[in-house]
């Protein structure tokens, strides 16, 4: 139990670790889905190819879209891409980095599905059973069979219970032949994905490390800024609700005092703190205006330094004034002549 707690805490440490955990769970889920899937080839010449390739390609596409949906950064990417220019420019490099990061994580589960499917071999066996070379593996000179009948017989190879073409070609031979081809394609796909991941990880810092760091930094900044803005809005909403409720009960208390002459209760000490957190935004229209202003013209990414004192004539140019030295102590001696 402690190990699961540590893993869960690691996934919650930051946004990147959380999304890596989600991708790992989706990859495991894809393998479990394929193992629990009941594969039933139609064993018909015109439907085997569509069914086999559909099982090979359609679920990865669904998993790819699901990876985009489960990624929290997709809404942030869309918001950053569609927002007005305002006072802050939009960096295309940051948008490309965010999209590539989301796409790379979303491709993990589809890649696992395709790898498992090819290594298993059922889809390729169902899709290409009519393309088995009968001249090489079977008896192509079987009498009383036209080309259409041969295709119909070969389409039943994945279905052992209804296959009746042992004299044409043995089903074990055809299945073994197609499964070997499927496993070879599966291992080539795994090798290709591993090689691409290795090249991306190892060669990217050699060419554009500075641009990569810049894009990654501002991508993290946008994520953190969005979280802090949501937390600030939630805190403001909490303070606004607290002040509204307190004012409501104060009004009710005043009415009760006027009607029944009960002494009013003392206002809670945290009422002033809640009012301070409102930052001067005390009505719905002003808050809506602030939210619209944040969306339309976000503040520029430039922190203005605090104004420097100008009492001694220094206005910020040249060297700053030095602190005056401590005054010297003077001693007076008096001599009297007697």
**Which 3 state secondary structure label does DSSP give 168?**
coil
Torsion over CA: 283, 286, 291, 292 (sign): positive
d(CA 48, CA 249): 73
Nearest to 168 by CA among 131, 133, 144, 138: 138
Nearest to 108 by CA among 36, 24, 168: 24
Nearest to 115 by CA among 178, 190, 35, 27: 190
**Which 3 state secondary structure label does DSSP give 145?**
coil
**Which 3 state secondary structure label does DSSP give 257?**
helix
pLDDT at res. 179: 94
pLDDT digits (tens, 9 = 90+) for 16-37: 666 667 777 788 888 888 888 8
pLDDT digits (tens, 9 = 90+) for 201-222: 787 777 777 888 888 899 889 8
Whether residue 48 contacts residue 38, with contact meaning beta carbons closer than 8 Å, is answered with no
pLDDT digits (tens, 9 = 90+) for 133-190: 888 887 766 657 778 888 888 899 998 888 888 888 888 899 999 999 999 999 999 9
Query: Which structure tokens are listed for 170?
Result: 């043995």
- Residues whose CB is less than 8 angstroms from the CB of residue 68 and which lie 6 or more positions away in sequence, other chains included: 74, 102, 106
Query: Which structure tokens are listed for 128?
Result: 């290409």
Does this model's pTM top 0.75? no
Whether residue 99 contacts residue 81, with contact meaning beta carbons closer than 8 Å, is answered with no
- Other C-beta atoms within 10 Å of 208: how many? 13
d(CA 97, CA 11): 21
pLDDT digits (tens, 9 = 90+) for 90-104: 888 888 888 888 888
- 222 Cα distance to chain centroid: 13
d(CA 219, CA 64): 22
Q: Is 170 exposed, middle or buried (0-12, 13-18, 19+ CB in 10 A)?
A: middle
Q: What are phi and psi of 298, to 5 degrees?
A: -65, 150
pLDDT digits (tens, 9 = 90+) for 300-311: 888 877 655 555
pLDDT digits (tens, 9 = 90+) for 71-86: 877 888 888 888 888 8
**Which 3 state secondary structure label does DSSP give 240?**
helix
pLDDT at res. 259: 61
pLDDT band at 105 (very low <50, low <70, confident <90, very high): confident
DSSP H or E stretch at residue 337: none
């Amino acid at each position: 139990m402690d190990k699961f707690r540590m893993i869960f805490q690691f996934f919650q440490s930051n946004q990147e670790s959380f999304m890596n955990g989600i991708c790992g769970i989706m990859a495991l889920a894809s393998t479990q889905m394929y193992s629990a899937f009941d594969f039933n080839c139609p064993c018909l010449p015109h439907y085997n190819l569509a069914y086999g390739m559909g099982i090979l390609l359609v679920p990865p596409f669904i998993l790819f879209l699901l990876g985009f949906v489960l990624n929290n950064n997709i809404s942030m990417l869309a918001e950053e891409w569609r927002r007005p220019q305002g006072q802050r420019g939009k960096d295309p490099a940051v948008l490309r980095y965010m999209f590539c990061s989301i796409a790379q994580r979303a491709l993990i589960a589809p890649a696992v599905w395709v790898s498992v499917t090819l290594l298993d071999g059922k889809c390729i066996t169902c899709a290409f059973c009519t393309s088995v070379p009968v001249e090489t593996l079977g008896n192509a000179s079987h009498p009383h069979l036209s080309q259409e009948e041969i295709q119909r017989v070969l389409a039943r190879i994945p279905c052992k219970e209804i296959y009746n073409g042992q004299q044409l070609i043995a089903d074990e031979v055809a299945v073994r032949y197609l499964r070997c081809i499927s496993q070879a394609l599966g291992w080539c796909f795994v090798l290709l994905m591993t090689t691409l991941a290795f090249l991306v990880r190892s060669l990217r810092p050699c060419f554009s490390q500075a641009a990569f760091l810049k894009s990654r930094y501002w991508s993290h900044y946008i994520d953190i800024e969005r979280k802090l803005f949501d937390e600030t809005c939630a805190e403001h909403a909490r303070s606004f609700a607290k002040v509204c409720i307190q004012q409501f009960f104060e009004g009710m208390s005043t009415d009760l005092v006027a009607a029944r002459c009960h002494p009013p209760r003392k206002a809670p000490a945290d009422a002033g703190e809640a009012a301070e957190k409102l930052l001067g935004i005390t009505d719905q229209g002003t808050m809506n205006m602030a939210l619209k202003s944040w969306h339309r013209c976000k503040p520029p990414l430039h922190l203005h330094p605090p104004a420097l004192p100008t009492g001694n004539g220094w206005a910020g140019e040249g060297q700053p004034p030095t602190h005056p030295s401590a005054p010297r102590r003077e001693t007076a001696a008096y001599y009297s002549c007697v």
